[in-house]
């Protein structure tokens, strides 16, 4: 497609990513690294075997032909099905997320530096919907900080409320804020309506998480990383009393206990006794992206790994309080950090994982529920920041991951893919940090 991690010396990139334990910075970072960590990373790299059995998507057997495959759910792909990526918008500055408000035909693209842009009728509007660049830390391409996501309130059409998730300048601390659209201009947010929902101290510049979305339950969900720097030195992942290394769930339609939100009564630590009341799940390293599939009430958490594994965890919305193991475990192995032993009791291993080879950081996507490409329905899409290979699998009710596919033979490798996104019709998009937003389409229209 164009230059990017996937076109360079892959092993060097992968090693860089391993050394820095970063994702956005993996390809371009010039951060210094301590000798100790470099040595550890090299050992980990040397131990890395050839492609993981779990990631055999590129050698999947050809699907069985069918007369009317698209008419049935979970039908195998027809032999001649081809996927393509259409350019929807170009010339953006480090686009990092794309979404839409319910029943709204416009696309809203988050730029990492702190702007939200609108694409309408195939045209990128020059004036941003929101510009908070002065409040956001981390506009540089090698920074893991920035503005990460935008979530429209389910009743946005009537209340104009939306939420953003970013790292603040100059502290680098996490902010979740609410804004409202201008009363007079639907293409403009009213920055005077700003209301802070969450402020969370970040110990380091890395692993800030990033996702923010409303679930089918009407609650606001967000993902937070362990805070960095590497190996989770303060054990945030295993401590549900901190908000780091978690998926959080709050009710922004109510306020309680002096907070600008309320705690859903069915949160696992709602009483605050054994964990922070906001926490829904923990034991995560850097859940950059997650998806809540409303059809099956499943949460797909793509957790960026440290030395060896990238992982995807699928969990029912009725399974609150899960501990996904970081930093006791990385993927389904003991983590090779400074921890004695490796208890596995009570820790949930991933449903899907892949080893670092030409990859460095999983970018979780969405389960396709759109109408334009019936062949893709029910497939979960993801990619990796360093190889840009679009991949998918299907998660079966029995917990098995099947129909693994690598679409890069058809669509190429996306340069520096930052995120997937959905429009109001649940059609699928992907953003490249190089400035482009693509839409998934059938190749033959
Ligand atoms: Ca895990």
pTM here? 0.85
pLDDT for 258 beyond 80: yes
Read off φ and ψ for residue 138, nearest 5 degrees.
110, 45
pLDDT for 103 beyond 80: yes
**Which tops the pLDDT comparison, 59 or 367?**
367
Ligand 1 mean position to 291 CA, how many Å?
Answer: 16
Q: For 35-58, what is each residue's pLDDT tens digit?
A: 333 333 333 332 222 222 233 333
Residue 403 has a pLDDT of 96
Ligand 1 mean position to 304 CA, how many Å?
Answer: 9
Asked if residues 437 and 109 have their Cβ atoms less than 8 Å apart, the reply is yes
Average predicted confidence (pLDDT) for the chain: 85
Q: For 365-397, what is each residue's pLDDT tens digit?
A: 999 999 999 999 999 999 999 999 999 999 999
Kindly state the percentage of the chain with pLDDT values over 70.
81
Residue 36 has a pLDDT of 32
Ligand 1 mean position to 124 CA, how many Å?
Answer: 39
| Annotated domain spans of the chain | 5-442
Output the CA torsion 410→412→417→423 (10° steps): -30
Task: Indicate the CATH number for domain 5-442.
Answer: 2.120.10.30
Residues lining ligand 1 (ion), CB within 5 A? 324-325
Q: For 177-186, what is each residue's pLDDT tens digit?
A: 999 999 999 9
Ligand 1 mean position to 23 CA, how many Å?
Answer: 17
Q: What DSSP string runs through 314-380?
A: EEETT-TT-B--TTTEETTEE--SS-SS---TTBPPPSEEEE-SS---EEEEEE---SS-GGGTT-E
Angle at 34 between CA 167 and CA 234, to 5 degrees: 50
Q: For 412-428, what is each residue's pLDDT tens digit?
A: 999 999 999 999 999 99
Q: For 214-225, what is each residue's pLDDT tens digit?
A: 999 999 999 999
Ligand 1 mean position to 402 CA, how many Å?
Answer: 20
Ligand 1 mean position to 326 CA, how many Å?
Answer: 5
Ligand 1 mean position to 207 CA, how many Å?
Answer: 15
């Amino acid at each position: 497609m164009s230059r990017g991690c996937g076109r360079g010396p892959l092993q060097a990139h992968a090693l860089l990513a391993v050394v820095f334990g970063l994702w956005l910075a993996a390809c371009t970072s010039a951060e210094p690294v301590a000798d100790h960590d470099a040595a550890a990373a090299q050992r980990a790299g040397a131990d890395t075997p050839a492609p993981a059995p779990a990631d055999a998507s590129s050698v999947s057997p050809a699907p069985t032909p069918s007369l009317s495959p698209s008419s049935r759910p979970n039908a195998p792909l027809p032999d001649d099905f081809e996927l393509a990526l259409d350019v929807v918008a170009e010339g953006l500055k480090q686009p990092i997320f794309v979404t839409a408000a319910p029943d709204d035909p416009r696309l809203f693209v988050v730029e990492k530096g702190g702007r939200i842009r609108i694409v309408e009728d195939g045209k990128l509007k020059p004036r941003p919907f929101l510009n908070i660049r002065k409040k956001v830390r981390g506009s540089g391409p090698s920074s893991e900080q920035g503005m990460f996501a935008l979530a429209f309130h389910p009743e946005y059409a009537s209340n104009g409320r939306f939420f953003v998730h970013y790292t603040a300048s100059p502290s680098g601390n996490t902010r979740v804020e609410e804004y409202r659209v201008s009363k007079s201009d639907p293409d403009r947010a009213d920055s005077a309506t700003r209301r802070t929902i969450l402020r969370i101290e970040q110990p380091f510049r890395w692993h800030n998480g990033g996702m923010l979305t409303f679930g089918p339950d009407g609650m606001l969900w967000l993902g937070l990383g362990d805070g960095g720097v590497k190996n989770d030195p303060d054990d945030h992942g295993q401590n549900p009393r901190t908000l780091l290394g978690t998926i959080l769930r709050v009710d922004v339609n109510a306020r309680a206990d002096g907070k600008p939100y309320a705690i859903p009564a069915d949160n696992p630590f709602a009483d605050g006794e054994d964990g922070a009341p906001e926490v829904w799940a923990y034991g995560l390293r850097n859940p950059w992206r997650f998806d809540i599939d409303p059809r099956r009430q499943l949460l797909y958490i793509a957790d960026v790994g440290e030395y060896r594994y990238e992982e995807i965890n699928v969990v029912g919305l009725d399974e609150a309080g899960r501990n996904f193991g970081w930093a006791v475990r990385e993927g389904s192995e003991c983590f090779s950090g400074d921890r004695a032993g490796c208890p596995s009791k009570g820790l949930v291993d991933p449903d899907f994982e892949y080893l670092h080879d030409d990859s460095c950081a999983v970018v979780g996507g969405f389960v396709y529920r759109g109408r334009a490409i019936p062949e893709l329905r029910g497939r979960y899409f993801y990619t990796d920041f360093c190889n840009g290979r679009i991949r998918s699998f299907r998660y079966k009710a029995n917990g098995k991951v099947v129909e693994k596919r690598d679409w890069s033979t058809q669509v190429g490798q996306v340069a520096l893919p930052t995120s997937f996104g959905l429009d109001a019709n649940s059609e699928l998009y992907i953003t490249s940090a190089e400035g482009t937003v693509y839409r998934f389409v059938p190749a033959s229209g």
